[in-house]
């Protein structure tokens, strides 16, 4: 039972019913007829309007850990492009990297007017998984492989392997690593594992003294490199889990009178806009951030528009960008 049904039964136009329900102008005669039909059918305009809204909102909730990050803003840009192609809009939930706020947004979106949800994840905890398992709206996870859930993610391990393999081929033997927390299965664990595997495949031993855990920032890259140097370790390669970390590290090496790549080859991950404009230009690996957003948008709209409910886990590849910092 919807507005058109009421209109048909009352012999008026749907627009008239809509005006009636919204207290707009309707002649007294038509008012009486519509009221009678509504009373007789037990039609509840609010519940019905909600289900109409459900179908017609064309809004996707997007949950992000922050916006002031080039990689995340590229993903959101991709989602935005993917959605607008199909006339969908984007409702943004910015969690400030807070797990509780992520869970709040997931619950909010589940119970509210968005049609589907895209979640840019950094860490997937058991609490996330419990929520995923009960989720009743189309939900796509981006940036992490979420088992059993539609996901779009990057080959972080392969990307890290390729960079470190390249540094070894260029002649580096003692390669230090500035990584991020392993709770982040992609940028943390995955890139660390790629680094380890590349070393081992070349008969090199990953040394705990050559590892420092840092945050995702230029400033922390600087601090991490400083801790390595202060620890008295010598190294001829420095692999960084992100370009920003690498930029800070290169800065620290410069002020410590070490030349890049002469004394230390340096590489990052992400192929940020600035990586190619640095002096020396930074070797990095391109991840398809914008594409991942577009793919996630396609996936969630596939569920909504074409009823594609097959769980898919889409892993996107990478492209090694060899530049001066590892020559």
Binding site for its own copies (CB under 8 A): 20-23, 35, 39, 44-47, 49-50, 59, 62, 66-70, 73-74, 76-77, 80-81, 84, 89-94, 96, 113, 218, 222, 244, 247-248, 250-251, 254, 273-274, 276-279, 290
Is residue 141 within 8 Å of 149, Cβ to Cβ?
yes
Residue that the structure tokens 């596939």 belong to = 302
Nearer to its own copies, 97 or 233 (CB): 97
Residue 204 beta carbon to its own copies: minimum distance, rounded to whole angstroms? 29
Q: Which residues contact 199 (CB under 8 A, 6 or more apart)?
A: 164, 168, 175, 205, 206
Task: Between 69 and 196, name the residue whose CB sits nearer to its own copies.
Answer: 69
Give me 37's structure tokens.
């039909």
Give the shortest CB-209-to-its own copies separation in angstroms: 26
Separation of alpha carbons 111 and 101, rounded Å: 15
Nearer to its own copies, 68 or 133 (CB): 68
The 10 Å Cβ neighbour count of residue 129 is 13
Q: What are phi and psi of 180, to 5 degrees?
A: -110, 170
CB of 145 or CB of 249, closer to its own copies: 249
Q: How far is the CB of 325 from its own copies (least distance, A)?
A: 12
Give the list of residues 6+ apart from residue 265 with CB closer than 8 angstroms, or none: 167, 170, 171, 172, 236, 237, 238, 283, 325, 326
Q: Measured from the CB atom, is 277 or 310 closer to its own copies?
A: 277
Q: How far is the CB of 272 from its own copies (least distance, A)?
A: 8
In the complex, minimum distance from the CB of residue 49 to its own copies, in angstroms, rounded to a whole number: 5
Instruction: For residues 276 and 321, give the distance between their C-alpha atoms in angstroms, rounded to a whole number.
Output: 9
Element (H, E) at 118: strand 116-120
Cβ distance to its own copies smaller for residue 254 or 312: 254
* Nearest to its own copies of 172, 290 (CB atom): 290
Distance CA(324)–CA(265), nearest Å, equals: 9
CB of 38 to its own copies, least distance (A): 10
Measured CA to CA in angstroms, residue 120 lies from 15, 28, 76, 190 at distances of 41, 53, 9, 17
Q: How are beta strands 265-267 and 237-240 bridged, if at all?
A: parallel
Closest by CA to 66, choosing from 235, 239, 215, is 215
Query: Is the CB of 90 or the CB of 314 nearer to its own copies?
Result: 90
To the nearest whole angstrom, how small is the minimum distance from the Cβ of residue 105 to its own copies? 9
- The nearest distance, CB 200 to its own copies, in angstroms, is 32
Sign of the four-CA dihedral 74, 77, 81, 87? positive
């Amino acid at each position: 039972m919807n507005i058109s049904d009421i209109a048909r039964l009352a012999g008026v136009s749907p627009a008239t019913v809509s005006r009636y329900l919204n207290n707009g102008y309707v002649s007294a005669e038509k008012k009486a007829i519509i009221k009678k039909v509504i009373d007789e059918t037990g039609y509840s305009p609010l519940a019905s309007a909600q289900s109409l809204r459900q179908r017609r909102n064309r809004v996707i909730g997007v949950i992000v850990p922050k916006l002031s990050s080039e990689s995340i803003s590229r993903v959101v840009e991709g989602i935005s492009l993917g959605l607008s192609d199909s006339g969908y809009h984007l409702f943004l939930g910015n969690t400030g990297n807070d797990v509780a706020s992520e869970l709040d947004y997931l619950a909010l979106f589940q119970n509210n007017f968005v049609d589907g949800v895209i979640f840019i994840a950094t860490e997937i905890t058991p609490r996330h998984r419990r929520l995923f398992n009960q989720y009743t709206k189309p939900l796509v996870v981006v940036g992490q492989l979420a088992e059993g859930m539609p996901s779009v993610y990057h080959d972080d391990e392969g990307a890290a392997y390729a960079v470190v393999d390249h540094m070894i081929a260029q002649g580096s033997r003692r390669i230090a690593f500035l990584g991020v927390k392993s709770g982040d299965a992609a940028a943390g664990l995955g890139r660390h594992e790629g680094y380890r595997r590349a070393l081992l495949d070349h008969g090199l031993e990953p040394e705990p003294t050559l590892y420092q855990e840092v945050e995702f920032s230029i400033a922390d890259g600087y601090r991490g490199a400083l801790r390595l140097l202060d620890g008295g370790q010598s190294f001829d390669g420095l692999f960084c889990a992100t370009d920003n970390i690498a930029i800070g590290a290169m800065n620290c090496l410069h002020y410590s009178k070490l030349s890049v790549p002469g004394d230390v080859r340096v590489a990052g991950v992400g192929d940020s806009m600035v990586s190619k404009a640095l002096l020396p230009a930074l070797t990095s690996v391109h991840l398809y951030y914008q594409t991942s957003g577009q793919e996630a948008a396609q996936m969630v709209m596939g569920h909504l528009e074409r009823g594609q409910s097959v769980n898919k886990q889409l892993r996107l590849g990478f492209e090694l960008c060899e530049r001066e910092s590892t020559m």
